[in-house]
Amino acid sequence: MRIGCPKEIKPQEFRVGLTPHAAREAMSRGHEVVVEAGAGLGAGFSDADYVAHGARIADTAEEVFATADLIVKVKEPQAAERKRLREGQVLFTYLHLAPDPEQAKDLMESGATCVAYETVTDARGGLPLLAPMSEVAGRLAPQVGAWTLQKANGGRGVLLGGVPGVRPARVVIIGGGVVGTAAARVAVGMGANVTVLDRSLPRLSYLDDIFMGKLTTQFSSEGAIAELLPTADLVIGAVLIPGAAAPKLVSRAQLGQMLPGAALVDVAIDQGGCFETSRATTHQDPIYEVDGIMHYCVANMPGAVARTSTQALGNATLPFLLALADKGWKRALAEDAHLKNGLNVHAGRIAHPAVAEALGLPLLQPETALAA
């Protein structure tokens, strides 16, 4: 099979879908790999690195899309990329379709088979292809939150860890999954006063165990959030209902009850965001203010640390990529129910229940797609 890896074109996205080592593994199993010129540069991989491991370099994205059977990427395809997809082609990347009807329409029209990283599951109920980037985004969240809180950036001029004699900042993390846990680890490490909210009691129990009194856990409810907001310096949104649009947990009216210059970091923005006033921003222009509250809503946070993120993502995607290439998408999905959960679009229809529900579109049962 021919695997194609184009250069990412989302603004300030420096990750790449395939490392030279991953390309080599695919080639050693008899596959051909075509990488767009310069695709790995932002992550520190030169064209020569890919060539040294046996890959072919294509001058343009057109060539990669036109010749590959399987396209491997990082971010959801942008409008120009969507036009290049075609029937019979397999796309393997993040899609985040629930809040993005326009992308969903284009992918359906393309006729391509689209497998989304973020809905592939594992035997422990986790999301193995989202987890590595959630680890990164979670660790970044207190860091960007601390930056947003600086006075020159519009924040309230509070240092997360405080200093002797001055209390630390209060950080509220809504969602204690992979992002929330990683964010808690860094926020606690920076010396902040941290509260994590979740609706899963086992998750709260786990957090309580591993942090051994260094943070407070609280069951997530409208009332709990309303009580915490007026004293929070930094609120990190880290909830997820897999495949679905994020629930809105802080309304615009509630911003008025917050401390002026407090910061909201909405990591869940790629699923539409969990604050009513969130709108996706970019690394070029990451923050904005609404009613005196600073918002940071970058939808591809891991792109900021492209090398770490590319390696972490590549480690997780490789076995699934090899299965898709070795077996073809139908057999790979038929033999792995967890990879089958990644199927989002096939033959012009949405093939994931939560995505179909979020978009109000009819569902193509994945089993039907595989049987055809």
Ligand X SMILES: NC(=O)C1=CN([C@@H]2O[C@H](COP(=O)(O)OP(=O)(O)OC[C@H]3O[C@@H](n4cnc5c(N)ncnc54)[C@H](O)[C@@H]3O)[C@@H](O)[C@H]2O)C=CC1
Residues annotated catalytic, as ranges? 96, 270
Q: How far is the CB of 309 from ligand CC(=O)C(=O)O (least distance, A)?
A: 7
| Residue 238 near ligand X by CB under 6 A | yes
The interface partner of residue 323, options being ligand CC(=O)C(=O)O, ligand X, Mg ion, none and the CB cut-off 5 to 8 Å by kind, is: none
Asked whether residue 344 is marked as a ligand-binding residue, the answer is no
For tokens 């796309």, what's the residue?
91
Check binding of 270 to Mg ion (CB under 5 A). Answer: yes
Q: Does 180 bind ligand CC(=O)C(=O)O (CB under 6 A)?
A: no
Spatial CA neighbour of 317 closest among 118, 68, 166: 118
Q: Is 163 annotated as a binding residue?
A: no
177 binds, among ligand X, ligand CC(=O)C(=O)O, Mg ion, none (CB under 5 to 8 A by kind): ligand X
Q: Among residues 40 and 180, whose Cβ is nearest to ligand X?
A: 180
Q: Are 130 and 372 in contact (CB under 8 A)?
A: no
Inter-residue contact 316 to 131 (CB < 8 Å) = yes
32 token code pair: 């051909």
Question: To the nearest whole angstrom, how small is the minimum distance from the Cβ of residue 56 to Mg ion?
Answer: 29
Query: CA 190 to CA 61: how far, in whole Å?
Result: 42
Would you say 150 or 200 has its CB closer to ligand X?
A: 200
Half-sphere exposure of 177 (CA within 13 A, CB side): 22
Q: Which of residues 255-274 bind ligand CC(=O)C(=O)O (CB under 6 A)?
A: 270
100 binds Mg ion (CB under 5 A): no
CB 226 within 8 A of CB 163: no
Q: How far is the CB of 130 from ligand CC(=O)C(=O)O (least distance, A)?
A: 6
Does the annotation flag 198 for ligand binding? yes
Question: Which span (16-24, 155-163, 193-201, 329-337) binds ligand X, by CB under 6 A?
Answer: 193-201
Q: Which is nearer to ligand X, 104 or 179 (CB)?
A: 179
Residues 328-347 that bind ligand X (CB under 6 A): none
Which stretch, 27-35, 98-106, 144-152, 178-186, contacts ligand X (CB under 6 A)?
178-186
- Our CB check for ligand X shows the closer of 296 and 329 to be 296
- 168 or 273: CB nearest ligand CC(=O)C(=O)O: 273
Site for Mg ion in 5-44 (CB under 5 A): none
The secondary structure of the chain, three-state, reads: CEEEECCCCCCCCCCCCCCHHHHHHHHHCCCEEEEECCCCHHHCCCHHHHHHCCCEEECCHHHHHHHCCEEECCCCCCHHHHHHCCCCCEEEECCCCCCCHHHHHHHHHHCCEEEEHHHCCCCCCCCCCCHHHHHHHHHHHHHHHHHHCCHHHCCCCCCCCCECCECCCEEEEECCCHHHHHHHHHHHHCCCEEEEEECCHHHHHHHHHHHCCCCEEEECCHHHHHHHHHHCCEEEECCCCCCCCCCCCECHHHHCCCCCCCEEEEHHHHHCCCECCCCCEECCECEEEECCEEEECECCHHHHHHHHHHHHHHHHHHHHHHHHHHHHHHHHHHCCHHHHCCEEEECCEECCHHHHHHHCCCECCHHHHHHC
Only one of the segments 59-67, 82-90, 240-248, 340-348 lies at the binding site for ligand X (rule: CB under 6 A); that segment is 240-248
Which residues from 283-322 bind Mg ion, rule CB under 5 A?
299-300
Instruction: Indicate whether 300 belongs to the interface with ligand CC(=O)C(=O)O (CB under 6 A).
Output: yes
Is there a binding annotation on residue 301? yes
In the complex, the residues that contact ligand CC(=O)C(=O)O under the rule CB under 6 A are 94, 130, 133, 270, 300, 302
Binding residues for NAD(+): 134, 198, 203, 220, 239-240, 267-270, 279, 298-301
Positions touching ligand X (CB under 6 A) are: 118, 127, 130-131, 133-134, 137, 174-180, 197-200, 203, 220, 238-241, 246-247, 249, 267-271, 299-302
